[in-house]
Structure 1
Amino acid sequence: MGSKYINRICTWCLKLGLISILAACQNLPSQQGRSIETHITADTPSSLAYANASLVSEHKGLSGLYPLDDGHEAFAARIALVRAAEHSLDVQYYIWRNDTSGQLLFHELVLAAQRGVHVRLLLDDNNTVGLDNILKALNQEPNIEIRLFNPFMHRHWRALSYMTDFARLNRRMHNKSITADNQATILGGRNIGDEYFDMGKGTLFVDLDILAIGPIVNQVSNNFDRYWNSASSYPLNGIVHPRHIKLQASMPIFKHRSFNHLRANSYDNAYNRDNFANRLLDGSLDYQWAHLILVSDNPDKALPKNRRKVEATQSDNNLLIEPDTEQPPVIKYQKASLTLNALAASVVEPQKDLLVITPYFVPTQTGLEYLQKLREEGVKIRILTNSLAATDVAAVHSGYSHYRTPLLKEGVEIYELKNQGFLKGPRDRAFTGNSESSLHAKTFTIDGQQLYIGSLNFDPRSARLNTEMGVVIQSPEMAQFMNQAINEALPYVTYQVKLTPQGKLEWTETNDKNQTKVYHHEPDTTFWQRVWVKMLSLLPLESLL
């Protein structure tokens, strides 16, 4: 046998040995001894409870919501909520950037803990790269507990972990919420990061949250407990060893190169300008009152199928949140089911109009057939998603591109956001530069009667792999306002995709002078971008998108 063959065999043996070692080290720590915790009761006295009491009693059975469609105000609302907390903060996020907004909010959690607030922070571990030292320092605070959802045991070789534990690590927690004293909550589509709060010089995300008070808050708190105590949530110290901590929670926040003092000042100015904290605590926020239905996945959805069956035998609780005795059930939930099933059970079937706003639109064949059925019944359907120029995930665009022609043939209207579609208003260019915009909001309206806001994308990943949550808002006023606002903006911030008489795609742009321009390929893109998406569209990726 030649030496080159011996070298190949040795190389493969080394690779197999490395994989075996990784597999041996991949075992997750035991959950034995982990505490099972629940949120505080809604009648616990607090400043937020006092501020909300008369408002909630005046609107019995309804929840108050305040839309957060402006990035600066969305950040100010989070700071105000953390500062208003007196007993507890339950915080759950998919992405938490180690940038200016992320570090400022970490610092606020530390200050809250130091004044006696019990902080529970649950982060999906897929996006905590580079955060281990800060998380360890925060976790040393007496009143801060951190858990990681579906964690990576290899902190420096995460990609290799997929080789030995892909079935689990491919499933992520996409939920986003922050709740103070079980009295007020913010939930929706935003992660924590400068780009989600309209700050930075890269791509900025157009997003949507709500701040809510009333019955919905206790339901969100119950939902958080289920995730916090789930089989996929691991205390930080079992994953990231606390030894060699050089940072203190009061120190690390402002000593990272990604922190920008000018942006911090801009955030501070926005907080003071909005006067959000005073409005939150004196009850003067302009809440809209409606019946809200919380829609949330079972956290067991994030378990591989073999483990999911084991966990299912340990509990027969098929209802995520028990309804209040005075209210109808407000959670639609089936164990290990798709969010879309729960969502479908929570809304009325469209009879006249369906508006879908989603950054990632991959309807699959099942979704295509459903939309075709609605069109046959005469339902007007409008889809707003990202253009190729605006998307931050080209692979998803490749999956979406298959469906444009069949949808257009059925009479579905498709609009694609321009890469600067929502950046034409006045804004501080010192902090946004020539930033582009990308749609990140996930919402839809039905017949001008119901509105959904949450984390759910209309793609296979949201339906089958990631956990999702959101609220169905039964408010004709809000649904019709959303429809009107979108109708007014669509011609100027999007390209409308149409079919030519020959069956070819074309993109129509309207400027502020009502002049139109027609493109015969994806606007504002290069030849190589289009080639790359075309190549991706030939690969069997749809189930992963």
Structure 2
Amino acid sequence: MKVTLERKHISSLSKRSFIFWLLLCATALGGCALPALDKRAQSQAFPPSKSTQTGIGQSVTLLAEHLNKATDKLSGIVTLEDPVDAFVARALLAEASELSIDLQYYIWREDIAGKLLLRTLIRAADRGVRVRLLLDDHGSSGMDKTLATLDAHRHIEVRLFNPYSVRSFKSIDYLTDFQRINRRMHNKSFTVDNQISIVGGRNVANEYFGADNGIQFTDLDVLAIGPIVDHVSKDFDRYWSSISAYPIEQLVEASNKEDLRSLGMELESTVLSTEAKPFISAIKASPLLNDLQNQVLEPVFAKVNLVSDDPAKIFGPTPENGLLVQQLDQLLGSPQRSLTLISPYFVPGDTGVQLFRDLEEKGVEIKVLTNSLEANDVALVHSGYAKYRRPLLEAGVQLYELRKFGAIEATPQTRKTASIGSSEASLHAKTFAVDSNTLFVGSFNFDPRSLSLNTELGFLIESPQLAMALETKFDEQIKQAAYEVVLNENKDLEWIEHNGAETRRYEEEPNTSFYQRAVIGLFSFLPIEPLL
């Protein structure tokens, strides 16, 4: 009888506990709707009439005049291939800012690179510079307290794009609002005084700037001056004022001045760390600002178009011509001679394969570089790509996969020892050249997620010089940095590794285990391609 009573008591407790947790979850799911935006502050980029009066603005004007370039028609482009140079450019421009800094990123981490750049933002704000920081909520996970503290500065405003409604247990949103929460802002831009912008593939974290002890990303940004910068600012304003951009103060408990002071002290101490020393030394040694001020910076001047998804893409259908791919199609048309494509996550789908096949039949030479399985930081995406290798090769596409230790070198004008951390490589650059005439650089991957789910941003640069530079580098370096994927005489896949004059052939994906290949094979049968 005692045992029976105890069991009934336990059963009763279990039912009550279940009901309690069920009610708690129902309350959480029903009571955590996103806040209204009717009281959100309004702001826009400062107009060129004001921004050209800053030190950076005057330097940009003098440089264009010195080079006899009409800045109302052409924009100046400097490629940032070296990861340390890419970090230094951001840090130096932030330190030189006088009016505004607008930043839009998918990922920002609180590692050495992230903290050093946060330090530059606080230092700029302390000088009275207006800082607007727009981050994707998924990519800045774990930073709520830091971001709320930054927002406590009277010259810094932080907004989160497409935020999770449940802050403490974000996974709940995947159960209750998957359609929305699965769509992310993948854009990346850094604009100072509405006079200089950096756009490209890099997020803000150690691995993007050569400071990680794990995999280093081979990536590409461009620094831009001229009329295209105002287009970047206007696009930033469009996202900043969209219905998906929520002030951090409406989502997270507010911080106070004491929290801000403590954060400032912590970030200042980061400068003294061993990990920060290479960055600090590179900043001190960089000639970038002096070259700009003394009109010796050497940008390539060209017609540049900004292509960008409408932020409404987060909710599905967009206005006509509201998608980046539609804008690319309108501006580019169809390649006539060549297409050289670099994409870390490459899932062309049947439609993409047919497109490449049609182009090849018209005589267009197509070369593609993506990550090998050993170098891919998202193995699941590789499963979506792997099944298209054979039809791509049968269509005539020249296919290459970056090796784990095969980072493509920076240009001869930059350091050969750019990486501060390890030398393992993973491709992250998103770029392509068309007909030796036009170059794209941005955040867009050739995959379903970039096409249909995430928002993206990039530049279409009409410059034979820059387009041919990418094609030349591809031809000169690719075989030593990547596996050449081919079909052998039996129509089976082979991977060719070129080491100088020596070659080695693999019948399975190089430097991978049977288990890795089996998992990829299993994933390739799952109906998940639209999510990759």
TM (norm. structure 1) is: 0.90
Correspondent of 2:282 among 264, 267, 270: 270
* Partner in structure 1 of residue 63 of structure 2: 55
Q: How does 1:18-167 map to 2 (within 5 A)?
A: 18-44=24-50, 45-57=53-65, 58-60=68-70, 61-167=73-179
1:455 matched to 2:443: yes
* CA distance in 2 between partners of 1:407 and 1:178 (Å): 36
Superposed displacement of residue 195, structure 1:
0.4
1:344-386, CA deviations, whole angstroms, 9 ceiling, x for partnerless residues? 1121411111111000000112111111111111111111000
Q: Paired residue for 1:528?
A: 515
Is the CA contact 1:184–1:212 (under 8 Å) kept in the aligned structure 2? yes
1:321 corresponds to: none
- Contact kept, 8 Å, 2:94 with 2:120, in 1: the verdict is yes
Q: Deviations over 1:45-86 (max 9, x none)?
A: 110111011333532210001000000000010011101210
SS of structure 2 residue aligned to 1:432: coil
Give the Cα separation in 1 of the matches to 2:28 and 2:175: 9
CA contact (8 A) 2:239 2:245 kept: yes
| 8 Å contact from structure 1 (residues 104, 253) kept in 2 | no
Distance 2:273 2:250 in 1: 34
Q: Secondary structure at the match of 1:516?
A: strand
Alpha carbons 2:149, 2:263 under 8 Å: kept: no
Aligned in 2, Cα 1:375/1:87: closer, same or farther, shift over 3 Å? same
| CA-CA distance at 1:128 after TM superposition | 1.8
Query: Distance in 1 between the 2:470 and 2:122 partners?
Result: 37
Shift of 1:259: 8.8
Partner residue, 1:427: 417
Deviation of residue 157 (structure 1)?
Answer: 0.5
Shift of 1:285: 1.5
Gaps of 5+ in 2: 1-6, 410-414
CA gap 1:349/1:248 in 2 versus in 1, 3 angstroms = same
Deviations 1:292-315, CA, capped at 9 Å, x for gaps: 010000011112x4xx7xxx8xxx
- Is 1:119–1:143's contact at 8 Å kept on the other side of the alignment? yes
Question: For 1:468-489, what per-residue CA distance to the aligned partner results, in whole angstroms no more than 9, with x for missing partners?
Answer: 0000010011101110011101
| 2:426 corresponds to 1:438 | yes
Deviations 1:379-411 (A, max 9, x none): 111110000000000110000001000010111
| Aligned residue pairs, count | 514
Partner Cα distance (2:293, 2:245) in 1: 33
Alignment of 1:373-412 (within 5 A): 373-412=358-397
SS in 2 for 1:414: strand
In 2 relative to 1, CA 440–103 (structure 1 residues): closer, same or farther, beyond 3 Å? Answer: same
Offset at residue 7 of structure 1 (A): 8.9
Q: Which residue of 1 aligns with 2:398?
A: 413
**Aligned residue in 2 for 1:322:** none
What's 2:461 paired with? 473
Q: 1:383 to 1:54 in 2, by over 3 A?
A: same
AA at the equivalent of 1:499: L
Q: Which residue of 2 aligns with 1:518?
A: 505
Contact 1:290 1:473 in 2 (8 A): yes
In structure 2, what is the Cα distance between the partners aligned to 1:411 and 1:496?
Answer: 13
SS at match of 1:126: coil
User: Could you say what secondary structure the match of 1:470 adopts?
Assistant: strand
Distance 1:253 1:500, change over 3 A: farther
- TM-score, with structure 2 as normaliser: 0.92
4+ residue runs of structure 1 moved beyond 6 angstroms?
2-12, 255-260
Whole-angstrom distance in 2 between the partners of 1:83 and 1:387: 39
Instruction: Show the counterpart of 2:4.
Output: none
Show the 5 A alignment for 1:358-377. Answer: 358-377=343-362
- Report 1:147-296 matches (<5 A): 147-242=159-254, 247-249=259-261, 251=263, 254=266, 261-296=273-308
RMSD between aligned residues: 2.3
Q: Relative to structure 1, is the Cα distance of residues 423 and 467 closer, same or farther in structure 2, using a 3 angstrom cutoff?
A: closer
Percentage of matched positions with identical amino acids: 41
State whether residues 444 and 458 of structure 2, in contact with CA within 8 Å, keep that contact through their aligned partners in structure 1.
yes
| Cα distance change of structure 1 residues 428 and 358 upon mapping to structure 2, 3 Å threshold | closer
